[in-house]
Amino acid sequence: NAGVTQTPKFQVLKTGQSMTLQCAQDMNHEYMSWYRQDPGMGLRLIHYSVGAGITDQGEVPNGYNVSRSTTEDFPLRLLSAAPSQTSVYFCASSYQAGPYEQYFGPGTRLTVT
Amino acid sequence: AQSVTQLDSQVPVFEEAPVELRCNYSSSVSVYLFWYVQYPNQGLQLLLKYLSGSTLVESINGFEAEFNKSQTSFHLRKPSVHISDTAEYFCAVSGKGAQKLVFGQGTRLTINP
């Protein structure tokens, strides 16, 4: 199993550009989520999904869109990048929400200039 | 809603010394509690978790954490640390029946030889 994969590993964007961060898992997990990690702030939940076709907002959803057309994939779209979105982004998956271990991808380091 | 406070942003200790990383949580419902570890330039991985039953839970590499309901705490301890324990540690909480995992701000553990 590859586990949770994320692409790209690094990305530099100019303000106003859009892009999609890719996330895929091969563990047949129902629950997937996106977090951003900023120094001193821990991980903050952006969006999550409890199954294909179902998504919901987390703590910091503004400026981001998600969709879940398949169990395996959960892409995160930045609509119009802003310097405040400079961060490290982690995708995670688990069997279901609640008491189950979340498996994290290696992260995408995004810089917006 | 749930929240987590990690009381120390950095903890420096000497090799083979004991360490305690503090975590307090807030919730109006029963909770699941987790400690995740992030080694440099990697994603997070589960260290240990409390779901129910015995309030003392252990990891395979010598860490333990105790759930204290009256003090709403879930502190992480290790009696003797090793250089390889250098990492950032995150406490996280999920309310039973909730679909979100809430992380604390993280504690950076630095081991000095």
pLDDT at residue A84 is higher than 90: yes
Distance from CA of B60 to the nearest CA of A (A): 15
pLDDT tens-digit map of A46-81: 999 999 999 999 999 999 999 999 999 999 999 999
pLDDT at residue A36 is higher than 90: yes
DSSP A73: B
pLDDT tens-digit map of B8-66: 999 999 999 999 999 999 998 889 999 999 999 889 999 999 998 899 999 989 999 99
> Residue A88: which residues within 8 A CB-CB, separation 6 or more?
A36, A37, A38, A107, A108, A109, A110
Distance from CA of A11 to the nearest CA of B (A): 16
B90·A42 Cβ contact <8 A:
yes
Residue pair A87/A78 in contact (Cβ under 8 Å)? The answer is no
Q: What mean pLDDT is predicted for residues A84-89? A: 98
| Residue B90, number of CB atoms within 10 A of its CB | 24
d(CA B58, CA A80): 44
- How many residue contacts between A and B have a Cβ separation below 8 Å? 61
